[in-house]
């Protein structure tokens, strides 16, 4: 307020009053405009130049002639509020029209006071600098305030975007933590309520599921637990970057709660594993005892029968009757052996290889039962040993059973040759329709075949085959058929010599008449003759030593 006094205003000194007004404008409207340390005027000019620099038609050099075409004002509108003006569509030569449009939009849409008229700028060679600075200062404040609001909006937007990530992370943490805790608790409850059926297969299945849990689901939980701890740390770091209060999850979803549930899971896993192992051990011991009890009882019954057989005395007829009675006990033993087989199968499923409760195995019991059955036949120990040796030889896979092909080969090695259809029928009959013949079934088949061959009819057919169809047999024929020497010697003593027209074929070689010999042995009650027997040949069996 230098060189200005109250009397100047009272006296109406126009120059002084205008100077006072300009001083007030500079102080309260323009002086706060500052750009890079410049004065108010220079700062305001620099602002205008920067805002219009991208418009080729506009060049702001001052606050006078640079504005009289109106394009500078239009450019300021376009750069700040492109929604209010279509700068590219302007007629660049229409100075008054452009100016009027800019003034109208600035006043009506933005609220800038209409301090100037169009003619104040367009119709003069040099518009008044102070007037333009005063008016443009209003533009600066209006758009600067707008930019502040926009900057504030962008800051809010950026904050919200950043916080949105933190909020999403918090939501994800709570959701995932709740899901993990629920899965752990459900698993613990499932183990607590689990029961066993009492079978090895069920216990083994539960053991397998438990192992799968530890290899699969448990490892996924470990990874998820670690990820959640890392996620919570990231949330706290992100909030700390904005100096916001640290996130604390609800107590029921905290890491401390998780550690407690994890400890419960570990304890439950240990108890579950121990229970499964104890159950499997108990089931195995129960199977061992079950097998042992049945095997020992079976062996005792079998031994009792064997002792009874070995102690037979008295008349032959009485002994035969007693043997038949003992033989009637064998079918129940067969049924009991099937029960033992079922328990033995369960022991195999449980991988039980040793049993401290008995010395017997299922195979041994089968063999002993077969041997007991054979004791009631006329088979010799040598024949039994031969049958067993042949069976073991063809049981290549050690399953104690023979396939159809192995069964056929075993019979062929014993001199029993059948047609393919007959062999298949024998196999199905012997195996009871199954695909394997057990050792016991094989021995019984051989017993039946061998006993069948000891009938008078079969013995006669055997003599015929040994004699190669001749009506007599020689010592050499018998030796070729592997008949033991002591048996040949006995036959030579009891079989009469043959006398017939064909003696010349083997002159000097003793010929034994097995036909007349067998005629004397055939029971008259059968009504059979040698001619009848001769007509019932057995083409399915080939003679060898077992005859």
DSSP codes, 407-457: HHHHHHHTT----HHHHHHHHHHHHTTSS-EEHHHHHHHHHHHHHHTTSHH
Residues 6 or more apart whose Cβ sits within 8 Å of residue 138: 29, 112, 113, 115
Specify the CATH number for the domain of residue 503: 1.10.238.10
Contact 331, 398 (CB under 8 A): no
Contact 309, 326 (CB under 8 A): yes
**Whole-Å CA distances, 374 to 296, 306, 447, 453, 518:** 21, 11, 7, 15, 27
Bin 210: left if φ > 0, else alpha if -120 < ψ < 50, else beta: alpha
Let me know whether 27 and 126 are in one domain: yes
Specify the CATH number for the domain of residue 142: 1.10.418.10
Let me know whether 20 and 152 are in one domain: yes
**Whole-Å CA distances, 36 to 47, 434, 541:** 10, 105, 125
Let me know whether 145 and 69 are in one domain: yes
- Residue 328: its pLDDT value, please? 61
- Residue 454: its pLDDT value, please? 54
Let me know whether 180 and 105 are in one domain: no
Model pTM above 0.85: no
Contact 152, 98 (CB under 8 A): no
Lowest mean pLDDT segment, chosen from 243-252, 315-324, 538-547? 538-547
Let me know whether 79 and 114 are in one domain: yes
Tally the C-alpha atoms within 13 A of residue 32's C-alpha that lie toward its C-beta.
Answer: 9
Residue 440's closest CA among 341, 327, 312? 341
Q: Using one digit for the tens of pLDDT, what is the confidence trace for 399-426?
A: 889 999 999 999 988 888 888 898 999 9
Q: Decide if 522 is inside a domain.
A: yes
For the residues 95-117, what does the mean pLDDT come to?
92
Let me know whether 101 and 181 are in one domain: no
Q: Decide if 84 is inside a domain.
A: yes
For the residues 318-330, what does the mean pLDDT come to?
57
Q: How far apart are the first and last CA of the chain?
A: 153
- Residue 372: its pLDDT value, please? 62
Q: Using one digit for the tens of pLDDT, what is the confidence trace for 471-483?
A: 888 888 888 877 7
Let me know whether 272 and 213 are in one domain: yes
- Residue 237: its pLDDT value, please? 87
Q: Write down the mean pLDDT value for the chain.
A: 82
Domain end call among 280, 311, 336: 280
Q: Decide if 90 is inside a domain.
A: yes
For residue 214, how far is the Cα from the chain centroid?
13
pLDDT band at 456 (very low <50, low <70, confident <90, very high): low
Neighbours of 281 (CB within 10 A): 11
- Residue 366: its pLDDT value, please? 84
**274 pLDDT above the threshold of 60:** yes
Domain end call among 157, 185, 206: 157
Per DSSP, 245 falls in state P
pLDDT band at 331 (very low <50, low <70, confident <90, very high): low
Q: Decide if 362 is inside a domain.
A: no
Residue that wins the pLDDT comparison between 142 and 226: 226
**449 pLDDT above the threshold of 80:** no
pLDDT band at 374 (very low <50, low <70, confident <90, very high): low
How far apart CA 256 and CA 260 sit, in angstroms, is 6
Highest average pLDDT, of 113-122, 212-221, 241-250, 472-481, comes from 212-221
Let me know whether 145 and 229 are in one domain: no
Structural domains in the chain (count): 3
Let me know whether 43 and 151 are in one domain: yes
Contact 510, 489 (CB under 8 A): no
Residue 237 structure tokens: 């770091």
Domain end call among 157, 177, 206: 157
In the chain, % of residues over pLDDT 70? 82
Lowest mean pLDDT segment, chosen from 21-25, 442-446, 463-467? 21-25
pLDDT band at 320 (very low <50, low <70, confident <90, very high): low
Residues 6 or more apart whose Cβ sits within 8 Å of residue 447: 373, 374, 377, 379
- Residue 282: its pLDDT value, please? 93
Tally the C-alpha atoms within 13 A of residue 179's C-alpha that lie toward its C-beta.
Answer: 11
Let me know whether 132 and 180 are in one domain: no
Specify the CATH number for the domain of residue 241: 1.20.58.60
Residues 6 or more apart whose Cβ sits within 8 Å of residue 238: 162, 165, 166, 169
19-50: b or e for each residue (b if 16 or more CB lie within 10 Å)? beeeeebbeebbeebebeeeebbebbbbbbbe
How far apart CA 460 and CA 532 sit, in angstroms, is 11
**Whole-Å CA distances, 59 to 142, 157, 322, 482:** 22, 35, 139, 134
Let me know whether 194 and 118 are in one domain: no
For the residues 271-289, what does the mean pLDDT come to?
93
Q: Decide if 63 is inside a domain.
A: yes
pLDDT band at 205 (very low <50, low <70, confident <90, very high): very high
Range of the domain at 465: 456-534
Let me know whether 152 and 191 are in one domain: no
How far apart CA 58 and CA 52 sit, in angstroms, is 7
Q: Decide if 337 is inside a domain.
A: no
For the residues 87-98, what does the mean pLDDT come to?
92
pLDDT band at 233 (very low <50, low <70, confident <90, very high): very high
How far apart CA 114 and CA 106 sit, in angstroms, is 8
In the chain, % of residues over pLDDT 90? 36
Residue 474's closest CA among 431, 518, 509, 434? 509
Residue that wins the pLDDT comparison between 529 and 542: 529
């Amino acid at each position: 307020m230098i060189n200005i006094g109250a009397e100047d205003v009272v006296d109406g000194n126009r120059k002084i009053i205008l100077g006072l007004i300009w001083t007030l404008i500079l102080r309260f409207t323009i002086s706060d405009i500052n750009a890079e340390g410049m004065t108010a005027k220079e700062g305001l000019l620099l602002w205008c130049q920067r805002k219009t620099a991208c418009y080729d038609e506009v060049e702001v050099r001052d606050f006078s002639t640079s504005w009289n075409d109106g394009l500078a004002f239009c450019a300021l509108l376009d750069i700040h509020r492109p929604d209010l003006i279509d700068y590219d569509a302007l007629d660049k030569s229409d100075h008054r029209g452009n100016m009027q449009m800019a003034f109208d939009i600035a006043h009506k849409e933005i609220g800038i006071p209409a301090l100037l008229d169009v003619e104040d700028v367009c119709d003069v060679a040099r518009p008044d600098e102070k007037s333009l600075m005063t008016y443009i200062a209003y533009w600066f404040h209006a758009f600067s305030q707008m930019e502040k609001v926009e900057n504030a909006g962008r800051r809010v937007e950026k904050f919200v975007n950043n916080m949105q990530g933190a909020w999403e992370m918090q939501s994800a943490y709570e959701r995932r933590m709740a899901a993990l805790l629920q899965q752990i608790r459900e698993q613990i409850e499932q183990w607590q309520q689990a029961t066993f059926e009492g079978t090895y297969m069920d216990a083994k299945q539960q053991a397998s599921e438990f192992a799968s849990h530890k290899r699969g689901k448990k490892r996924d939980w470990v990874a998820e637990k670690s990820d959640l701890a890392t996620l919570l740390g990231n949330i706290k770091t992100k909030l700390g970057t904005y100096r916001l209060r640290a996130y604390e999850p609800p107590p029921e979803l905290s890491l401390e709660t998780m550690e407690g549930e994890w400890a419960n899971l570990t304890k439950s896993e240990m108890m579950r594993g121990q229970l499964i192992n104890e159950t499997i051990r108990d089931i195995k011991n129960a199977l061992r005892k079950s097998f042992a009890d049945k095997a020992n009882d079976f062996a005792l019954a079998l031994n009792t029968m064997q002792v009874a057989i070995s102690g037979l005395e008295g008349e032959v007829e009485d002994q035969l009757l007693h043997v038949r009675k003992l033989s009637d006990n064998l079918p129940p033993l067969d049924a009991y052996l099937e029960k033992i087989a079922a328990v033995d199968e369960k022991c195999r499923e449980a991988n039980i290889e040793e049993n401290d409760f008995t010395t017997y195995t299922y195979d041994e019991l089968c063999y002993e039962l077969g041997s007991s059955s054979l004791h009631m036949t006329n088979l010799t120990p040598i024949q039994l040993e031969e049958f067993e040796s042949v069976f073991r030889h063809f049981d290549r896979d050690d399953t104690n059973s023979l396939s159809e092909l192995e069964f056929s080969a075993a019979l062929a090695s014993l001199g029993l040759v059948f047609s393919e259809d007959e062999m298949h029928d024998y196999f199905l009959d012997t195996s009871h329709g199954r695909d394997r013949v057990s050792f016991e079934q094989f021995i019984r088949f051989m017993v039946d075949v061998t006993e069948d061959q000891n009938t008078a009819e079969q013995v006669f057919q055997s003599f015929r085959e040994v004699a190669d169809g001749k009506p007599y047999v020689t010592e050499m024929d018998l030796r070729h058929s592997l008949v033991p020497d002591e048996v040949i010697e006995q036959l030579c003593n009891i079989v009469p010599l043959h006398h017939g027209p064909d003696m010349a074929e083997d002159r000097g070689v003793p010929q034994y008449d097995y036909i007349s010999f067998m005629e004397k042995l055939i029971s008259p009650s059968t009504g059979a003759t040698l001619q009848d027997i001769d007509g019932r040949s057995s083409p399915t069996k080939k003679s060898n030593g077992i005859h």
